[in-house]
Amino acid sequence: MARLQLSTPDLRRTFRVAGRRAVDDFAGKVQRRARTLAPSRTGALRQSIRVRRTLTFRGPSSVVGTDLFYAPYVHDGTPPHVIRPRRARALRFTAGGRVVFAARVNHPGTKAVPFLDQALREVARREGWEYRRG
């Protein structure tokens, strides 16, 4: 799961804010900004970004994130890797208008799009807070 956990003690220490309402407000702003920054082919990733409020032993916290299985691959990127067929003898795809069959494909990897981290940094900066990775 790609997510950011925003807890009241952490936010107080990092941004010098007080109170549950401030955490909820901040998490909502991060969620809205992350939805704008997330890449969108079908819109599923953007729509899946949620805020979940929880209570932990450290106090109240909010988690901004998504449960889509591919979200970490989009957020963190992927290294170059080999794709092989699972249930067939060959992969079938279209390249240059032609149907191609291959026993394996060398995927070049994907570039990271850290939309959650970027949303957190931008919202913190806009609020006049300093973001330090803890």
* pLDDT tens per residue across span 8-61: 565 655 554 556 777 788 889 999 999 999 999 999 999 999 998 877 777 677
Task: Write the CB contacts of 39 (distance below 8 Å, at least 6 apart in sequence).
Answer: 45, 74, 113, 115
Kindly tell me if the per-residue pLDDT of 116 is higher than 60. Answer: yes
What are the start-end ranges of the E strands in the chain? Answer: 2-7, 50-56, 59-66, 81-83, 91-95, 98-102, 105-107
* Tens digits of residue pLDDT in 76-93: 999 999 999 999 999 999
| Euclidean distance between CA atoms 72 and 134, whole angstroms | 20
Band of the pLDDT at 62, cuts 50, 70, 90?
confident
The number of beta carbons lying within 10 Å of the beta carbon of residue 26 is 22
pTM for the structure as a whole: 0.76
Residue 116, both tokens: 């959650």
Q: What is the C-alpha separation between 10 and 126, in angstroms, rounded?
A: 18
> Which range is least confidently modeled, 9-13, 22-26, 68-72, 126-130?
9-13
pLDDT value of residue 18: 54
Which letter does DSSP use for residue 125 in this model?
Answer: H
